[in-house]
Structure 1
C-alpha cells in the first residue's frame, strides 16, 4: 500500500530567504542556497496535500537584533538579552535570547524567498517573528511555546496548526533553514501540536555547520523522525 494511503502529509519549507543564503545574506547559512533543488523536488511531489512556505518577517525594532541594544551587550552571535513572555498572566516568565545581525526585515529584499525556490507550488505563505518583543523560530509557537493565535496574532500571520488540521494533515515534513534553529523548533512544535513530524536531512543546513549531529539527537529525543530524501516514505508521497 502506498504511504499516501496511510498518511496525509504536509510540507513546511522554512525560511528559504535571501538574508539566510550566501553570498549576500546578513545571516547567511553555509550551503543554504544549495538545498533548493532538493526542496523543489519535494514541492513537486503530488502526495502532499498542502505546502507551506514560511518567512521570518521582523520589524526593524525586533528584540533579537543586536543593534537594538546598548553596548557592550550588543554583539551578534555572542550577546544575549532577557525576553518576557507576552501572554496574559505570564509576564513574570523570562528566558534568554541570543542576539543576531539585522535580518529578514519586513518588506525588504532580505526577507524575500530566494528565486531558486518554486514558490508557484506553495499553497500557503506564512510570515512569523512579527512581534517586536518576542522571538519566533517555530511557525507553530513563539519562544515561550504560546500557540494561541489570540496571543500570537502580532507574531504570525496564520495559525498553521489549525490550517493543517482543517485539511486533515497527519504528518508534517519540515525542510529549509536553519536546521539548528527555525527548522528544529518548527519540527519539535509540530509534534507538540499533535502531528507526526519528519525532517529531511538533505534539505536543511545549520547556522553552525558541524552542529547537525547534535541537532539530530535533539530532534529524535523530541519525537521527530530524521530521514533521508531516499527514505521509502518520501517515495510514497
Structure 2
C-alpha cells in the first residue's frame, strides 16, 4: 500500500510565518493533487509543536541570534526564531491544505531540551514519535514524502524512514518540497540519493 507523508506544511514555514521558507506555500497544491489523485491508502502529516521557550529558539539563549550555531543538550544546535509554538496560528497547518483527507497527525518537537527535525524521532535518536509503528500497522510498502523544509525536516524524515521502515520504498516528491538554502537543498538531495531515497516528481508519483 502507498502512503503519503506531509512534513510540516504549517503556517510557520510558509510566507508570513515565523520561520518562512521561500515559496513554501507552493507545496500545498502539490500535496492536494497527490491526496486527490495519488491513490494513497494512508495520508499522514507531521506537525512541529514546540512549547514556549523551546531550547532550539535563539530567544531561549541570551545573546544568541537566530540562524547561528549554538548548543542544546551538549550538542551543536542551529538556533531558530521562535516558531510553531503550540496552539498558535503559526503552528497550524496551512489553511489551503486538504486537512479532511489526513488520517494521522504526528506532532514533534515537544521536548524543550531536544529538537526533532524528523517526523520519526528526536535529533538525539533517544525517543521515537510512534509514526513508524503506525505506518507498519497500516502495511505501508511505499512512502511518498513532501513538505518543508527539504534541507532539514524533510531530509531527516526521509533518511529515518529508510532506516526505521525496512523494506519500504521511500520516495521524495521534489516539486512538493521547498528548502531554506540552495546549497542545503543540493547537499540534502545528494545525501538522500546516496542513502537510497528515490527522487521523483508529481507526475511520476501519480502515475505509479
Q: Where on the TM-score scale, by shorter chain, does this alignment land: which range?
A: over 0.9
Match of 1:78 among 57, 62, 68: 68
- Corresponding residue for residue 199 of structure 2: 226
Match of 1:103 among 58, 80, 83: 83
The total of aligned residue pairs comes to 206
- Is the aligned partner of 1:178 residue 2:149? yes
Shift of 1:80: 1.5
TM-score (norm 2): 0.94
- Corresponding residue for residue 207 of structure 1: 180
Q: Which runs of 4 or more aligned residues in structure 1 lie more than 6 Å from their structure 2 counterparts after TM superposition?
A: none
TM-score (norm 1): 0.83
Match of 2:98 among 97, 100, 118: 118
Match of 1:52 among 44, 57, 67: 44
1:142-164 deviation per Cα after TM superposition (whole angstroms, max 9, x unaligned): 10223xxxx44xxx4xx111111
Shift of 1:212: 2.3
User: SS at the partner of 1:107?
Assistant: coil
- Is the aligned partner of 1:67 residue 2:59? yes
User: How far, CA to CA, are the matches of 2:136 and 2:32 in structure 1?
Assistant: 24
1:104-136 deviation per Cα after TM superposition (whole angstroms, max 9, x unaligned): 000011000011111111101121110110110
User: How far, CA to CA, are the matches of 1:76 and 1:46 in structure 2?
Assistant: 38
Give unpaired runs (5+ residues) of structure 1.
1-7, 84-93
- Larger relative helix fraction: 2
User: SS at the partner of 1:181?
Assistant: helix
Shift of 1:52: 0.5
- Corresponding residue for residue 162 of structure 1: 133
Match of 1:28 among 11, 20, 42: 20
Shift of 1:197: 1.0
User: SS at the partner of 1:26?
Assistant: coil
Asked whether the equivalents of residues 180 and 212 of structure 1 are also in contact (C-alpha less than 8 Å), the reply is yes
User: How far, CA to CA, are the matches of 2:80 and 2:70 in structure 1?
Assistant: 9
User: SS at the partner of 2:3?
Assistant: strand
User: How far, CA to CA, are the matches of 1:181 and 1:108 in structure 2?
Assistant: 22
Asked whether the equivalents of residues 48 and 108 of structure 2 are also in contact (C-alpha less than 8 Å), the reply is yes
- Corresponding residue for residue 4 of structure 2: 11
Structure index of larger Rg: 1
User: How far, CA to CA, are the matches of 1:222 and 1:136 in structure 2?
Assistant: 20
Shift of 1:234: 3.2
User: How far, CA to CA, are the matches of 2:178 and 2:83 in structure 1?
Assistant: 17
Give unpaired runs (5+ residues) of structure 2.
none
Match of 2:111 among 113, 131, 137: 131
RMSD over equivalenced CA pairs, Å:
1.4
